[in-house]
Amino acid sequence: MTNISSKTPKSVPKKTCTFYERLSWICNTIFHQLVAVVGTFILWTLCYNFENKLSRWHMILTSTAYIPLMAEAIVLFASDNVWTQKIPRTTRYYIHGSFLFTSAVFATVGISFMISTKTSHFRSTHAWTGLVSWIFVLLSQFLGVASAKSQSLKFLLRPVWFKFIHNLFGMLGYLFGLTSLCYGLEKRTMVNSASYESRLATTVLISIIAAWSVIAALKSGYNQLKAIFS
């Protein structure tokens, strides 16, 4: 009778997570929760006593453009972004582009609605920061397409230049947009519908969202600058 010896499979060592990685995942999860809280609060306030006016649609569309759409698009490529850990990088590009394109459409339509309801334009801080944001967002859209086709356009600029400028313009458009959103909280519709304390808390949360979401963009921009001057 022949004895068949079986080999014991080698155990695969488990990958250990550092304290920094765990902390980053926790902070990223909190970030997503804050985006949900701020987005829900603003949209609920605007829709609770809904009036079918272009000015109200302006607020709904532009708010949605920046929170949640642009906020989620900005952090999508971050290594600590919890919900994209298992998504292939190519798929992330499509999701990123879809979010940013939709946010640009919402912002454009929303600003157009407000322009059509006023005779004087872009005189307040809220208005001109929104305009500057919209310009950077549109430029970022074109540069995003250029980044995707950067190998075909390398006779104009090195591919890393397209990626760096796309990253820079996208970040500036996002930050100016959030600034405009914070000033928009002091407009009559929000003042009449929400208390000062809730609007102040929302401003603080938007500031936290902005600070966390640009960390990955700053890291990416730094690496791109190193590649440019290497």
115-174 pLDDT per residue, tens:
888 767 778 899 999 999 999 999 999 988 888 887 888 778 888 888 899 999 999 999
Give the total number of structural domains in the chain.
Answer: 1
Is 20 contained in some domain?
no
pLDDT band per the 50, 70, 90 thresholds, residue 81: confident
Task: Give the per-residue pLDDT at 51.
Answer: 83
Lowest mean pLDDT among 78-82, 172-176, 185-189, 207-211: 78-82
Is 43 contained in some domain?
no
Specify whether the CB–CB gap between 51 and 74 falls below 8 A.
no
Q: What DSSP line would sit under the chain, residue for residue?
A: ----PPPPPPPPPPPPPPHHHHHHHHHHHHHHHHHHHHHHHHHHHHHHT----HHHHHHHHHHHIIIIIIHHHHHTT-TT-GGGTTS-HHHHHHHHHHHHHHHHHHHHHHHHHHHHH-SS-S-SHHHHHHHHHHHHHHHHHHHHHHHHTTTTTTTTS-HHHHHHHHHHHHHHHHHHHHHHHHHHTTSHHHHHHS-HHHHHHHHHHHHHHHHHHHHHHHHHHHHHHHHH--
Comparing C-alpha atoms, which of 94, 79, 90 is closest to residue 216? 79
Give the range of the structural domain holding residue 138, as residue numbers without chain letter.
51-228
Dihedral angle sign, alpha carbons of residues 74, 144, 180, 37: negative
pLDDT tens figures, 26-61 = 999 999 999 999 999 999 999 987 888 898 999 999
Is 5 contained in some domain?
no
Is 208 contained in some domain?
yes
Is 15 contained in some domain?
no
Comparing C-alpha atoms, which of 99, 66, 97 is closest to residue 177? 66
Average confidence (pLDDT) over 188-212 = 93
**Which residue in this structure is represented by tokens 């949360």?**
205
Average confidence (pLDDT) over 92-115 = 92
pLDDT band per the 50, 70, 90 thresholds, residue 17: confident
CATH code for the domain of 175 = 1.20.120.1770
pLDDT tens figures, 199-210 = 999 999 999 999
Exposed, middle or buried by CB within 10 Å (0-12, 13-18, 19+), for 174?
buried
Task: Give the per-residue pLDDT at 115.
Answer: 87
- For residue 8, pLDDT over 60 is answered with no
